[in-house]
Structure 1
Amino acid sequence: MEKLLERFLRYVKIDTESVPGLKQIPSTQKQFDLSKLLVEELKEIGLEDITLDDNCYIMATLPSNIDKVVPTIGFVAHVDTTPDFTGANVKPIVWENYDGKDLVLNKEEGIVLKTDNFPEIKAYKGQTVVTTDGTTLLGADDKAGVAEIMTAMDYLVQHPEIKHGKIKICFTPDEEVGAGADLFDVEKFDAEWAYTMDGGPMGEFEYENFNAAGAEITFKGQNVHPGTALGKMVNSMNIAAKFATKLPDNETPETTSGYEGFFHLLGMSGSVEETKLEYIIRDHDRKLFEARKDHLESLVKDFKREYDKATIELSITDQYYNMKEKVTPNMHIVTLALEAMKALEITPDVKAIRGGTDGARLSYMGLPCPNIFAGGHNMHSRFEYVPVPTMVEATKMIVKIAELNAK
Structure 2
Amino acid sequence: MYLSHLKLSNFRNLQDAELFLEPGVTIIQGNNGNGKSNLLEAIYILSIGKSQRATNDRDLVRFTTKDINIKDESLGIHTKVLANVEKSNESTKIQCDLFEIEHNGKKAEPQQSNSINTLKQKHLKKLVRINGIKRKISEFVGEVNAVLFTVQDLELIYGNPKTRRRYLDVLISQNNREYLMALQRYQKTLLQRNHLLRSIKMGVSQMDELTPWDHHLVIDGGFIIYTRLNMIQKLSKLSLDKHHLLSPLKEKLNVIYITDVQEQELSCDQSHISSLFKQKLSASLNADVIKGFTTVGPHRDDFKITIDDMDCSRFASRGQGRTATLSLKLAEAEYLSDARGENPLILLDDVFSELDSVRRDMVWRLVSQYEQSLITTSDIKDIPNNSNHDMKMFQIVKGNINPIN
With the shorter chain as reference, the TM-score category is: under 0.3
TM-score scaled to structure 2, two decimals? 0.27
TM-score scaled to structure 1, two decimals? 0.27
Greater fraction helix: 2
